[in-house]
Amino acid sequence: MTGWRFLISRRWAGYLALTVVFAIVCVLLAMWQLARRDEAVAEINRVETNFDAEPTPLADVLPELDAYDPSQEWLTVSMTGRYLTDDQVLVRNRPLGGDVGFDVLVPFQLANGDVFVVDRGWVPTGQKQDVPDAVPAAPTGTVSVVARLKAGEPHLDSRGAVAGQIATIELPVIADQVGQPTYTSAYGLLASEDPAPAERPTAVAKPTPDEGAHLSYTFQWFCFGLLGFVGLGYIIRQEYRRVNEDDPEEQERAAERERKRLAKRTDAQVEDEILDSRSTPD
């Protein structure tokens, strides 16, 4: 079978189908990376919009105890009340700057009796035990708090904790411990307190804008999909030359390719070929 008729076969139809499937997978992965980038950009925009916004009263932002929208993440809210220090809990295994420690959660009771959980910050694990060496105390009495909203975290069956600690910021669990009406969809990262104590846990820093490498990965996956067809074309060309090696026109083209290859040789390559020919036994 000469010419291009060898392509009309089940084997080459299979190669084409495999290449198409590979390209589709690459496109899907590229679109997934693009969606990941869109999420990263949306998070950056959310931080820029909400993190340093003027504080809004908590009741205006979250009118119900289970109210929260993802667009409200990092939004700055204000409230006045008192800390329920007896219900303070520590969240285990919280990383910060390469170290692992605890987040300090203290329920905060508003004037109307509702409770909002405030994350006062991070403390390191103790030097000799798996608890902090010291936890800065929350101020007593009436306190004005400014915090930034975060969504509560889900339950994890694979994690446990000892008394006075929890594995994740699972707000319904804290609500059960407090035994009073509690916000169960969002909590707050402490921004400031008035009166301010002499010492407080390490505050959460403003996230650094980072889109990640998703856009680069998107282009790479599109290129991989295209290269699949390039590779198929190369294989087809090589098969064409093999099948038609007895054809005079193809022999002429092969000779021309060989002449061009020889013309591109460097002096060093020519010398190597001469030495190789001399070292080859007759």
Does the pTM exceed 0.75? Answer: no
Neighbours of 157 (CB within 10 A): 6
In a domain, 4, yes or no: yes
In a domain, 91, yes or no: yes
Please check whether residues 108 and 186 belong to one and the same domain.
yes
Can you tell me the distance from the alpha carbon of 166 to that of 152, in angstroms, rounded to the nearest whole number?
Answer: 13
Domain count, the chain: 2
* pLDDT given at position 164: 78
Please check whether residues 89 and 183 belong to one and the same domain.
yes
Range of the domain at 46: 1-51+211-252
Please check whether residues 188 and 71 belong to one and the same domain.
yes
In a domain, 259, yes or no: no
Contact 149, 78 (CB under 8 A): no
Contact 166, 174 (CB under 8 A): yes
**Checking phi first, is residue 212 left (phi over 0); if not, alpha (psi -120 to 50) or beta?**
left
Please check whether residues 182 and 79 belong to one and the same domain.
yes
* pLDDT given at position 39: 92
Please check whether residues 23 and 97 belong to one and the same domain.
no
In a domain, 35, yes or no: yes
The DSSP secondary structure of 68-104, one letter per residue, reads --GGGTT-EEEEEEEE-GGG-EEEEEEEETTEEEEEE
In a domain, 134, yes or no: yes
* pLDDT given at position 127: 79
* pLDDT given at position 273: 61
Q: Quick one: which H or E segment has residue 146?
A: strand 143-151
In a domain, 237, yes or no: yes
Please check whether residues 60 and 185 belong to one and the same domain.
yes
The DSSP secondary structure of 35-56, one letter per residue, reads HHHHHHHHHHHHHHHHTTSPPE
Single out the residue of 91, 117, 90 nearest to residue 178, CA to CA: 117
Can you tell me the distance from the alpha carbon of 25 to that of 23, in angstroms, rounded to the nearest whole number?
Answer: 5
Please check whether residues 138 and 220 belong to one and the same domain.
no
Please check whether residues 21 and 47 belong to one and the same domain.
yes
Tokens 């996230």 found at: 207
Please check whether residues 10 and 61 belong to one and the same domain.
no
* pLDDT given at position 227: 95
Please check whether residues 75 and 176 belong to one and the same domain.
yes
In a domain, 201, yes or no: no
Averaged pLDDT, groups of 10, the chain, 282 residues long: 78 92 96 94 92 94 94 96 95 88 95 95 86 90 96 79 83 92 96 93 89 93 95 89 76 73 66 61 54
* pLDDT given at position 107: 96
Please check whether residues 13 and 121 belong to one and the same domain.
no
Question: Which tokens hold the place of 11?
Answer: 């084997």
In a domain, 206, yes or no: no
* pLDDT given at position 257: 72
Please check whether residues 56 and 14 belong to one and the same domain.
no
